[in-house]
Amino acid sequence: MASTVAEQGEDERDKSGQPAGDGGAGRTAAGSVQPEVRRNWRVRLRRDKSLILMTLPAVALLLVFNYLPMVGTITAFQYYDPLDGIRNSEWAGFANFRQLFGDPLFWHAMENTLYISAVQLILFFPIPILLALLLNSVLNSRIRSIIQAITFLPHFYSWVLVVTLFQQMLGGAGLLNHFLRSHDMGTWDVMTDPHTFSLLVTSQVVWKDAGWGIIVFLAALSAIDQNLYEAAASDGAGRWRRMWHITLPGMRGVIVLMLVLRLGNALSVGFEQLLIQRYAVGHDAADVLDTFSFYYGIGTQNYSYGAAAGIFKSVISLLLIWGANKLAHRFGEDGLYRK
């Protein structure tokens, strides 16, 4: 994500640095080898046509599988019937949304989504930061890279695999319950307990992604000027004061950026992860907005209804990203894009 942001930032600066406009004669391209005069688009087309051609396969795939579905969201305003297709299906206006907002199952899914999201924000978010600080303080670079490799590894496992591993560890027939049973302490099937489900889901996310999450924070740490530490130490600042006054301010930008992204994704809580476990723990605990949209859209073939739930989620998510960015700007940080 971070490099994306860099891209955009770069372009923004590009734009503001050099006012656009065709035929800006005599303008030299800073940093580029050939100082090129911007001629009319025919000349540029001839020059760049192979470059444009190269982008077309990717653009075509995106048009079909990303933009066409965006157009397809109008099914949410229809009573979509696969036999009639989008063109001939009956229009519903906002009926699907009215039905959605009156559906207790939908609000329950919303509640679950927000709850799990909040638990993850509190219990997951700080862990990569702490791990990065800890790992950064390991002096032996060999040990450091071994630990780093081990913590990265689970990120590349599928959710089916991660859930299976958790099932073998914490499930009814798993290692934990074998231990409990052999010590006469009763049993606790963590995998099917709806009361602790949000904690289970969060611990799975921690196991899988906390190690991977440290990358951006390690990068921020390595960008801090080491001379600051030496200067502070010679002024008598101890470890904790150096961390408070140098390390944390140095990481602030990245932490805020990650927070913005997390808040923007507050309504997306591990779709595949929850889908896989819905069967074991029951829909009451496991239904979130995404699974709701899936089960009541595709499962019951009520496509328009599911699409309506999807639109609702997208709109709220965009608002959340926008709001989180506003907040970041208020704290004097860049966030996702510059002001």
Tell me the window of 91-99, 244-252, 270-278, 325-333 that interacts with another protein (CB under 8 A). 270-278
Site for another protein (CB under 8 A): which residue of 100, 263, 286, 321? 321
Counting residues that bind another protein (by CB under 8 A) gives 126
| CB 2 to another protein: min, Å | 3
- Asked if residue 319 binds another protein (CB under 8 A), the reply is no
- Is residue 37 within the footprint of another protein (CB under 8 A)? no
**How far is Cα 113 from Cα 270, in angstroms, rounded to an integer?**
10
| Binding of residue 79 to another protein (CB under 8 A) | no
Residue for token pair 């739930």: 309
Residue closer to another protein by CB (options 67, 107) is 67
257: exposed, middle or buried (C-beta count within 10 Å: 0-12, 13-18, 19+)? buried
- Residues 224, 228, 232, 233: what is their CA dihedral angle, to the nearest 10 degrees? 80
Using the minimum distance from each CB to another protein, give the nearer residue, 79 or 207. 207
Q: Does 180 bind another protein (CB under 8 A)?
A: no
Q: Tokens for 113?
A: 């989504």
Residues of this chain, 281-300, that bind another protein according to CB under 8 A: 290, 293-294, 297-298
Asked whether position 25 contacts another protein by CB under 8 A, the answer is no
Residue 29: how many other CB atoms lie within 10 Å: 12
Does residue 5 bind another protein (CB under 8 A)?
Answer: yes
Burial class of 192 by CB neighbour count within 10 A (0 to 12, 13 to 18, 19+): middle
Query: Residue from 129, 216, 266, 285 that binds another protein (CB under 8 A)?
Result: 216
Which position among 12, 29, 90, 282 is part of the footprint of another protein (CB under 8 A)?
29
What's the longest Cα–Cα distance across the chain? 85
* 332's tokens: 């004097």
User: Which one, 99 or 164, has the nearer CB to another protein?
Assistant: 164
Q: How far apart are CA 122 and CA 1, in angstroms?
A: 21
Closest CA to 230 of 252, 219, 246, 253: 246
CB-based contact 251:220 (threshold 8 Å) = yes
Write each residue from 101 to 140 as x if it is in contact with another protein (CB under 8 A), else as -, in one continuous string: ------------------------------x--xx-xxxx
**What residues numbered 192-211 form the site for another protein, per CB under 8 A?**
207, 211
Does position 153 bind another protein by CB under 8 A?
A: yes
Residue 310: in which H helix or E strand, if any? helix 303-330
Q: Which of 13, 98, 239, 245 binds another protein (CB under 8 A)?
A: 239
